[in-house]
Amino acid sequence: MEVCETFVSLQGEGADIGLPTVFIRLARCNLECTWCDTKYSWEPGQERSVEELVEEAASYNVPRVAITGGEPMMQSEEVSKLCKALEARHLRVLVETNGSIDLDRLHRGPGTRVSMDVKCPSSGMEGRNLFTNIAKLRPTDDLKFVIAHQEDYAFARKVLERNRPPCPVVFQPVGGLDVQDLAEKVLEDGLDVRVLLQLHRYIWGDRRGT
């Protein structure tokens, strides 16, 4: 499979925020979000086997592996094999996806979770959302909205009104939106969502491989 990089860091987002995690970042993406902080992953990567990646992940003695991108679902067949092999080594697996590709293409066992985005207007990719994926999420998964301004917030709220995600929801601020404004709006509107910052960016900034 085509890999951009592998490294160990603290998970910066979602339900596992702050926990040591092995990251397998796959190459190439089918979207071009305006605020993407890993645009280098859009480029071609290095071919590596599932077996090689599993051995490397297991060698770190860290119980969690995040398969991220780029967009992992572009390599869904190989990612499915990787998930199965990592689970067989008793590793907990998280697949991070932009939500534009049918989740049915990912064959996952009970030890694999999904963190899926819904793209808001600030991304420039809101027309690529595949909303039917929301109902395919499991209670152990999470659904994430990256929010840059009030238009994004209104969009996210409307998505939640029209769909009932079966899993926790994360609102993550980016760019010009003040996190206090977002937090106060969530409380004012009574939304049952988590407001989370990107922890890794506060620790290491935009340094690659962190």
Calpha distance 28→37 (Å, rounded): 14
Span 81-128, pLDDT tens digits: 999 999 999 999 999 999 999 999 999 999 999 999 999 999 999 999
Calpha distance 66→24 (Å, rounded): 6
Span 24-81, pLDDT tens digits: 999 999 999 999 989 999 999 999 999 999 999 999 999 999 999 999 999 999 999 9
Percentage of the chain beyond pLDDT 90 is 87
Domains by residue range for the chain, with CATH: 2-204 (3.20.20.70)
The label of the residue with tokens 């499991």 reads 138
Task: Check pLDDT > 80 for residue 5.
Answer: yes
CA-nearest of 67, 13, 9, 69 to 39 is 69
For residue 176, the model assigns a pLDDT of 53
Average pLDDT over residues 12-21: 91
> In the chain, at which residue ranges do the beta strands (DSSP E only) sit?
2-10, 20-26, 46-47, 64-68, 92-97, 112-118, 142-147, 169-173, 194-195
Span 119-162, pLDDT tens digits: 999 999 999 999 999 999 999 999 999 999 999 999 999 999 99
Amino acid at 60: Y
